[in-house]
Amino acid sequence: MNLEIYTTPTCGYCHQAKNYFRNKNIPFTDYNVAEDHEAAQRMVQLTGQRGVPVITIDSEHVIGFDLPRLEKLLSERTNGEKRRFGVGVADAARYSGQEGAYVGTVTDGLAGARAGLKAGDIIVGINEKRVFKANDLDEILRSLRPGEEVTVVLVRDGKPMQAKAVMQN
């Protein structure tokens, strides 16, 4: 899971959000948009928002300290369907200029790791279904059953590859 939070030093809700993540031992990257102008531009580009906090969990954006939505998204990633595959992804266009799901993290012992996926890979297909962005991958993975074998089409270092994995509970 990739969690980023865009904040300012004087924002009370920003401090609440960061304390919430710290208390839950959830690692995050904090961007102070008052000082980091590139981060401020990225935040506006991603969400159209100029107010803080803006919290990004993988490819999902939460505007403000919306605790019910945050808890739902975090629950999906730690207890739910997305955990079975064990990769943290974001839209590849953000990193490489191409379509697909950019793999940021791979959890040892889960399907993605057993298939040999690595950080920096770009997933472009699963079982003959095209992956244009991170949300596409999430939707495809949710439709799969535990024990089902999947073929992952990916790009690594500019070269197309395939990998096999078995979905987990």
22: Cβ–Cβ under 8 A, 6 or more apart, which residues?
none
Rounded Cα–Cα distance for residues 33 and 100 (Å): 28
Rounded Cα–Cα distance for residues 77 and 63 (Å): 19
pTM of the model: 0.54
User: What tens digit of pLDDT does each residue of 100-151 get?
Assistant: 999 888 888 888 999 999 989 999 999 999 999 888 888 888 778 778 889 9
3-state helix vs strand vs coil in the chain, percent to 5: 35, 30, 35
Give the CATH class of 84-166. Answer: mainly beta
**CATH assignment of 3-78, given 3.40.30.10, 2.30.40.10, 2.40.340.10, 3.30.70.890?**
3.40.30.10
Q: Which residues pair with 3 in a beta bridge?
A: 57
